[in-house]
Amino acid sequence: LINASRGTVVDIDALAAALASGHIAGAAVDVFPSEPKANGDEFLSPLRGRDNVILTPHIGGSTLEAQDNIGIEVAAKLVRYSDNGSTLSAVNFPEVTLPGHAGSLRLLHIHRNVPGVLSKVNDIFGRHALNIDGQFLRTDPKVGYVVIDVAADEAQGAALREELAAIPGTLRTRVLY
């Protein structure tokens, strides 16, 4: 018997009795009617200690080891986004992983994924006679995310950001560095 749906779908005491009597040869369970409230609390179940039972935590992120690793991973991803604009492993945003581009100003433009936005973005740089050193676009069905590296100073970057923000469909702009 395998239960990976809901903890209350299987009567745990009846399952333990069926395993003990041999009516069921084995079980794998990763959801339970009651689970420890906090890390470190003991998990009590009549299924523990049986050779023919595999017990796993339904939410692997709830283990003590996972909690430490998740904290480190989330912090590292936030730093990568804040320092470089990378969004690798984002679940609700276009994924981008980027190399640094020394000597460039990096601008981020988040917009609704509709036709024509990228051409409007590029037109702004052309009007300022600025060459784009690097550009990366990724979209999902609703959102577009473009990262632009350009040889510009801070004042030019602020002006570019204002113009990018005025493009219809823009959700957010940012001068990263």
Task: Please list the active-site residues.
Answer: 6, 35, 58
123: left (phi over 0), alpha (psi -120 to 50) or beta: alpha
SS3 for the chain is CEECCCCCCCCHHHHHHHHHHCCCCCEEECCCCCCCCCCCCCCCCCCCCCCCEEECCCCHHHCHHHHHHHHHHHHHHHHHHHHHCCCCCCCCCCCCCCCCCCCCEEEEEEEECCCCHHHHHHHHHHHCCCCEEEEEEEECCCEEEEEEEECCCHHHHHHHHHHHHCCCCEEEEEECC
| Sheet containing 27-29: order of strands | 2-3, 27-29, 53-55
